Amino acid sequence: MTTRTLDTPSRHFYKARLLGAALVALWVSVADAEVVSGAQLPDGSQKVGENRYRAPRDFEGTLEYYRAVYSTSSYPRRQIVNQPGVKAVHISNPSGKNFAGLNIYEANDEVRIYIVPVEQASKPAKKPETKPSRKK
């Protein structure tokens, strides 16, 4: 009895399909995102204040979204707060272009995103020119 090649499943075919499906899912989740001051926000985020947005997902879902958008190797993260009822993570923007980082926090059963603005170098105030006084 001979086996036909069509009856034998090929592992490479299935791996390629899984990888393709994962890439399409990632692209779809990121494609409709809004960009504010150079920072990407999840689709469905609502503005609640200056540089503050309400995330449409829970805390873990929002962190998962940002793991896909900003890789942990390129955008370092650090935990800011972990108290009962409050969680917060800071994502740094090492390039410093447009925004310094993102703060993602959960409080009162609500997840918010704060876009940390880049600090503008303050220019020293010009001192009024004084003419030297002439002594008589």
Residue 8 within a domain: no
Secondary structure of residue 28 in the 3-state scheme: helix
Least confident of 50-54, 56-60, 79-83: 79-83
Alpha-carbon span 134 to 136, nearest angstrom: 6
d(CA 52, CA 122): 24
**Residue 4 domain flag:** no
Residue 8 has pLDDT above 50, yes or no: yes
pLDDT at 25 over 70: no
- Is 11 contained in some domain? no
Mean pLDDT for the stretch of residues 15-28: 55
Beta bridge partners of 107: 86, 110
Residue range 65-107, pLDDT digits in tens? 999 999 889 999 999 987 887 899 999 998 888 899 999 999 8
Model-level pTM?
Answer: 0.63
Whether 1 is in a domain gets the answer no
Q: Within 13 A of 10's CA, how many CA atoms are on the CB side? A: 7
Domain count, the chain: 1
Q: How far is CA 24 from CA 20, 34, 69, in A?
A: 6, 18, 14
Instruction: Please report whether residue 19 resides in a domain.
Output: no
Distance between CA 29 and CA 69 in Å, rounded? 9
Alpha helices in 1-136 (DSSP H): 11-31, 59-69
d(CA 102, CA 114): 6
Is 13 a member of any domain?
no
Range of the domain at 77: 26-117
Name the CA radius of gyration of the chain, rounded. 25
Residue 68 within a domain: yes
**40 lies in some domain:** yes
DSSP state string for 72-112: TTTS-EEEEEEETTEEEEEEE-TT-SSEEEEEEEEETTEEE
